[in-house]
Structure 1
Amino acid sequence: MARPVVRGTAAWKYFGDFRDVLLAGQVLVLQVAHPVVAAGVRDHSDYTSDPWTRLMRTGASLSIYVYGGVAGARVEAARLRALHRTFTGVADGRRYSALDPAAYAWVHATLVKVPVDVQRFFGRPLSTSELAEYYAQMCDIGRLLGVRERDLPPDWAAFERYYDSMVAGFAANRTIEELFTTIRTVRKPVEWLPDRWWLPLRRAQARGQMFLIRATLPADLRARLGLKWTEADQRRFNRFATVVRVFATPIPAGLRTAHMRWIGKLNVWFRAHPRVYARLIGGNGPGSAPRA
């Protein structure tokens, strides 16, 4: 067992860093590159029609099982497993389940990797001792979520070997293409936003999101997906990363993660007061709607 996720520990400092949002597109691509995850998202997710709500639900879930305390994490884990138990179907002539152990473990692995990559690209890489503590904490969270013990590599070095071997087996698929289309055509987050404002904003976010995806995906997978990357692109990304690093790294960890910690506490409170949540937001609780 690792130390709990409390103030000053590695997962507390890095998992909710506001810079993690810069890899949001990358982690989605890596998740749906797995054929079982791709099938589940294709058949059961509403992200193409309602990406903003999907984003809020995902943020609520992540905040709870990392920053919501052990009790909150257990409740969220039970909710997630009950939700995904309903996501089944047929892909390529074979039945699949969203709780397929290998696919379920892979989704967790992508979330484990994001904060480490974010610090490597935009901050200070984690030290050997921080990596050991962070990974042990995320393994404990994986167990709470129902990831099998044998699907959790014993240490960070073994995790990286597992991660690289998984990425090496991925290729383009229809769900990845739909994700790219959604990024380019995403509807406005609120109906009152005038189209004359939203359309240029959408083009700008699509260019930025696709650039960050191309920049941060593993190079071999980027090539297999047909995403071009040039030396000029690399220089541009290096400049961007330097700016983020210079301005964000001096900010204390408590401030860099404050938003996720407060979201976690708020959503744990909402779970204890579902009527308040229903009145203010709608639904039965944070992330409660039966969607992927």
Structure 2
Amino acid sequence: MARPIVRGTAAWKYFGDFRDGLLAGQVLVLQVAHPVVAAGVRDHSDYTSDPWTRLMRTGASLSIYVYGGASGARFEAARLRALHRSFTGVASGRRYSALDPLAYAWVHATLVKVPVDAQRFFGRQLSSSELEEYYAQMCDVGRMLGVRERDLPPDWAAFERYYDSMVAGFSMNPAIEQLFETIRTVPKPVRWLPDSWWRWHGRIQLFLLRATLPPEFRERLGLLWTSRDERRFRRFASAVRLVATPIPAGLRTAHMRWIGKLNVWLRAHPKVYERLIGGQGPGSASPRA
């Protein structure tokens, strides 16, 4: 067992860093590259029609694991497993389940990798001791979620080998194509955003996606990446690093810590959530969660 996730520990400092959001497109592509995840998204997700609500619910759920306390994390893990039991279907002539152990472990792995990649691109790389602590803490989160022990590599080096071997087996599929189209065409979350500003959102998201995907996988997807793109990305990453790195970890993660604590409270008061948001609370078994 790892140290509890408390202030100052590695998972506390890095899992909710606002720079992690710059890899949102990357992690979604890597998740739906898995055929079982792709089938589940096709049959059960509403992200193409209502991406903003879906994004907010996903962020709320993730925040609970690290910043909502042990009891909140256990409750959320049980809720998600109960919810995903109903996500079944047929893909390529075979039945699938969202709780397929290998697919379930892969989704967890992508979320474990994001903060480490975000620091590598936009901050400072985690030290060996930080990586050891961070990975052990995220393995405990995985166990809470129901990831099998045998699907949790024993250390970070083994995890990277597992991660790279999974990515090596992926290629383009309809779910990835749909995701690209959604990023290009997703409507504005609020009406008052100028159209000219919003058009840049899709371009920036696709640029960051191309920049941060594993290079070999990017090539297999047919995504162009030039030396000019690389220079632009390095300038962007340097600017983010310059601005964000001096900010204390407590401020870089404040939004996720606040969301985590708020959602633990809303879980205990679902009627308040329903009145404020117009939907079921984070403790419900809504299929849209």
Same fold, TM exceeding 0.5?
yes
Q: Which residue is 2:65 aligned to?
A: 65
Residue 280 (structure 1) aligned to one of 255, 273, 276: 276
1:189 deviation in Å?
A: 1.3
1:274 deviation in Å?
A: 1.3
- Partner AA of 1:102 in structure 2: L
Residue 229 (structure 1) aligned to one of 204, 225, 231: 225
Q: Are the aligned partners of 1:101 and 1:148 in contact in 2 as well (CA < 8 Å)?
A: yes
Q: Are the aligned partners of 1:188 and 1:198 in contact in 2 as well (CA < 8 Å)?
A: no
- Superposed CA offset, 1:138-197 (max 9, x none): 00000000000000000000000000000000000000000000001101213xx15xx5
| Cα separation, partners in 2 of 1:199 and 1:287, compared to 1, 3 Å | farther
- Structure 1 unpaired stretches of 5+: none
- Aligned pairs (5 A) from 1:60-99: 60-99=60-99
Size of the aligned set, in residue pairs, is 288
- Partner AA of 2:88 in structure 1: T
- Structure 2 unpaired stretches of 5+: none
Which whole-Å CA distance do the structure 1 matches of 2:163 and 2:270 have between them? 38
Q: Which residue is 1:151 aligned to?
A: 151
1:56 deviation in Å?
A: 0.2
Q: Which residue is 1:2 aligned to?
A: 2
Q: Are the aligned partners of 2:20 and 2:118 in contact in 1 as well (CA < 8 Å)?
A: yes
Q: Are the aligned partners of 2:84 and 2:98 in contact in 1 as well (CA < 8 Å)?
A: yes
Q: Are the aligned partners of 2:25 and 2:208 in contact in 1 as well (CA < 8 Å)?
A: yes
Q: Which residue is 2:267 aligned to?
A: 271
Q: Are the aligned partners of 2:267 and 2:283 in contact in 1 as well (CA < 8 Å)?
A: no
Q: Are the aligned partners of 1:58 and 1:287 in contact in 2 as well (CA < 8 Å)?
A: no
Query: Percent same amino acid among aligned pairs?
Result: 82
1:290 aligns with 2:280: no
- Aligned pairs (5 A) from 1:108-257: 108-190=108-190, 193=191, 197-257=193-253
Could you list the runs of 4 or more consecutive aligned residues of structure 1 that deviate by over 3 angstroms after TM superposition?
A: none
Which whole-Å CA distance do the structure 1 matches of 2:197 and 2:103 have between them? 34
Determine helix, strand or coil for the equivalent of 1:95.
strand
- Give the TM-score of the pair, scaled to structure 1: 0.97
Determine helix, strand or coil for the equivalent of 2:90.
strand
Q: Are the aligned partners of 1:74 and 1:144 in contact in 2 as well (CA < 8 Å)?
A: yes
Q: Are the aligned partners of 1:60 and 1:287 in contact in 2 as well (CA < 8 Å)?
A: no
Which whole-Å CA distance do the structure 1 matches of 2:156 and 2:194 have between them? 42
